């Protein structure tokens, strides 16, 4: 049996937030929410788990800093020792700026590419805009069927309390929303 999806369209950010909170409180499964801009507090209302991107950034940053420290040590005092201004070959203070930059560079790039990877974004990917106005002034909440409690008319009535301007039922075709 294929599951059903319910798409609810809202005109206002506050309606979307309130509806999302209410739908989640009912124990319904929220597939996704589409908004023209980042809506503060939506992640919490949807019950999304904490992003792990910060860990990617931290590990990349540490790798960049330590890797560059090692590389500077190797180039300046092992492979080809250079005397700069009479300083010892292995002078930590002179290594810090580059290690710092490498940490920032790797942390930044690591986070961005991890985000692209996780959200499957790549150059030339075709934009899949489920409703034209979600890039402009409308908000769409997608609710998925998980069990028999998914009674469309009941949910529609609930959503209308939160000023849903339109609701549409779809058959879930492998997570692709039309």
Of the pair 40, 120, the CB lying nearest other proteins is at 40
Write out the binding residues for other proteins, residues 9-68 only, by CB under 8 A: 40-41, 44, 50, 54, 58
In what helix (H) or strand (E) does residue 167 lie, and over which residues does it extend? strand 164-171
Of the pair 49, 120, the CB lying nearest other proteins is at 49
Task: Give the binding range for other proteins (CB under 8 A) out of 70-78, 94-102, 106-114, 134-142.
Answer: 94-102
DSSP codes of every residue in 73-139: HIIIIIIS---STT--SS-HHHHHHHHHHHHHHHHHHHHHHHHHHHTT--TTPPP--SSGGGGTT-E
Please report how close the Cβ of residue 91 comes to other proteins at its closest, in angstroms. 8
Angle at alpha carbon of residue 137, lines to 132 and 138, rounded to 5°: 70
Tokens (6 digits) for 2: 């294929």
Of the pair 101, 166, the CB lying nearest other proteins is at 101
Contact flag: residue 2 with other proteins (CB under 8 A): no
Task: Give the binding range for other proteins (CB under 8 A) out of 88-96, 106-114, 116-124, 131-139.
Answer: 88-96
Closest to 166 in 3D by CA, of 5, 4, 7: 7
Residues found near other proteins in the complex (CB under 8 A): 40-41, 44, 50, 54, 58, 85-86, 93-94, 96-97
């Amino acid at each position: 049996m294929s599951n059903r999806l319910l798409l609810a369209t809202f005109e206002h950010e506050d309606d979307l937030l309130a509806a999302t909170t209410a739908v989640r409180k009912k124990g319904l499964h929220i597939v996704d929410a589409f908004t023209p801009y980042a809506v503060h507090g939506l992640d919490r209302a949807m019950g999304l788990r904490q992003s792990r991107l910060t860990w990617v950034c931290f590990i990349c940053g540490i790798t960049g800093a330590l890797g560059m420290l090692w590389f500077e040590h190797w180039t300046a005092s092992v492979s080809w020792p250079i005397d700069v201004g009479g300083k010892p070959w292995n002078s930590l203070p002179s290594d810090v700026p580059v290690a710092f930059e490498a940490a920032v560079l790797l942390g930044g790039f690591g986070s961005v590419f991890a985000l692209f990877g996780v959200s499957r974004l790549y150059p030339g990917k075709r934009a899949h805009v489920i409703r034209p106005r979600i890039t402009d002034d409308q908000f769409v909440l997608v609710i998925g069927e998980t069990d028999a409690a998914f009674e469309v008319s009941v949910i529609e009535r609930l959503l209308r309390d939160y000023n849903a301007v339109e609701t549409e039922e779809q058959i879930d075709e492998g997570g692709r929303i039309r």
